[in-house]
Homo-oligomer: A and B are copies of this chain.
Amino acid sequence: MAGADVPEGTIDVLDHGFVRLDDAMASDLSVVNAARVSFARNKQELEAEDEGLIGFLLRNRHGTPFEHNAFRFHVRCPIFVMREWIRHRWSSFNEFSMRYSRASDEFYLPAAEDVRQQVGKPGAYSFEPVEPGLAESARMEIETVCENAYAAYHRLVEAGVARELARTVLPVAAYTEFFWTVNARSLMNFLSLRNAETAQREIRRYAEAVESLFAERMPITHAAFVAAGRTPP
């Protein structure tokens, strides 16, 4: 995602991906006004006492005041990352369709330090780098499969096979794009599960980017979320 025409606020993730905040209707103030919901007391600006209220709501699982906002993200990520992302049902997705449009020829190739082995026991796995030789051969193996798959895809499409069928050979390392719109409550749930030790490293990098964009727009809510041990309300 290099280049002069990348919009401001675009965060590069992995080798060919990004997270971009397309638009937002979000402020800490909206949490406070929704929690009090009173015409007489509707505020235009946050006051000192309101910080405590936001923390109280978060700790006591009063989740609905955190729903009166919206973040619209534009994301580019590998299919296997998107497959985890879309489990988050309380939000909205529109994905680039490969039924009729030509698939991307970009695939996720892990950096050498991200080629890892799984250690430990079921329920408590952790990951450690493999030795450099294996990292390199694994990267070549992955690259070869992806290149061959895309070449086959290309030949099938050129020969006249429908794109919706030709795409079936593409690996889940292939990049896809989607719009994702979500409110702060559902977003904190996402962050608690995906920017976490137990999440797969690749989606975690995206969740870190999402979190930084969230923290910019709702700093007090984000600080309260962190202070509450990253448990969503």
Interface residues of A (CB under 8 A from B): 22-25, 30, 33-35, 37-39, 42, 56, 61, 64-65, 67-70, 72, 74, 76, 78-80, 83, 86-87, 89-90, 92-96, 99-101, 108, 110, 114-118, 122-123, 125, 127, 130, 134, 137-138, 141-142, 144-146, 148-149, 152, 155-156, 159-165, 167-173, 177-179, 181, 183, 192-193, 200
B30→A23 contact, CB < 8 A:
yes
B177→A39 contact, CB < 8 A:
yes
Q: In the complex, which of the residues A65, A142, A162 has the most CB atoms of chain B within 10 Å of its own CB atom?
A: A162
Specify which chain B residues have a CB less than 8 angstroms from the CB of A94 in the assembled complex: 34-35, 37, 64-65, 68
A159→B138 contact, CB < 8 A:
yes
Of the candidates B76, B155, B178, the one whose C-beta lies within 8 Å of that of A141 is B155
Q: Which 3 residue pairs across A and B have the least CB separation, nearest first?
A: A70-B70, A67-B92, A25-B25
Specify which chain B residues have a CB less than 8 angstroms from the CB of A177 in the assembled complex: 37-39
